[in-house]
Structure 1
Amino acid sequence: MMFRNALEPWHLVLVIIVGVVVFGSKRLPDAARALGKSARILKSEMKAMKEEEQQPTATAQAGQGQPPAQHTLQNLPGDAK
C-alpha cells in the first residue's frame, strides 16, 4: 500500500505554513473568502442542474417551440452589491 498514511496532521501544518509564506497573512482571509464564494456558486449551479434534470419530460416536450429559459445567478449572502 503506497498511500497508507497519505494525509497526516503534519502535512496540513506544512500546507498552512507554505500558504502563509506564499500569500502572506493579510491576503489569506481574502483568498479563503473567495474560495468559499466559489464553492457556494458551484453548489448552487449543481443544484440547478439537478433540478433541471428532474423536470418531467412532458413539460419539456410541450415547450419545444420555445427557446430554453435563461438562468441567472442570484446574489449570495456576503456578496457586495
Structure 2
Amino acid sequence: MGSLSLAHWLIVAAAAVLLFGAKKLPDTARSVGRSLRIFKAEVTQEGQDQEPPAAVTQGQLTVEEQARRLEEQAARLRAQSAAESRDKPVT
C-alpha cells in the first residue's frame, strides 16, 4: 500500500490522456511545471528579506518581468489579430 507500481502509473497516464487529450497534455505538463517553479521560488523567498534586486531599483527589468510583459503583448496581438480576421469580409 506504500508505493505505486508500474500498472498504477499506466492507469494514471491513461486517465490524464483521456481527461486532457494527447494534444493538450504537453501544454498542461508545461504549465504545471511553471506553476511549481513559481511556487518553489515564492516559498524560498518567504523566509528571506523582501528587498528588491539591484537591477529593479536601477530601472532595469528582470527576466521574469520581461517575459511577463512579452506574454501580455503577445496576448494583445493575438486578440487584435482575431478581431481583424472576424471583421474581414469573406470573398
TM range (shorter): 0.5 to 0.7
Q: For structure 2, which runs of at least 5 residues remain unmatched after alignment?
A: 53-61, 71-91
Change (3 A) 1:40 1:74: farther
Where do 4+ consecutive residues of structure 1 move more than 6 Å?
none
Give me the CA root mean square deviation. Answer: 3.0
Deviations 1:27-58 (A, max 9, x none): 00110011001001001101111213xxxxxx
Give the number of the structure with larger relative contact order, counting CA–CA contacts within 8 Å between residues 6 or more apart.
1
2:23 match = 26
Identity %: 30
Normalising by structure 1, what TM-score?
0.59
Give the number of equivalent residue pairs: 60
CA change 1:79–1:10 in 2 (3 A) is: farther
Give the structure 2 partner of residue 12 of structure 1.
9
Normalising by structure 2, report the TM-score: 0.53
Which runs of no fewer than 5 residues in structure 1 stay unpaired? Answer: 53-67
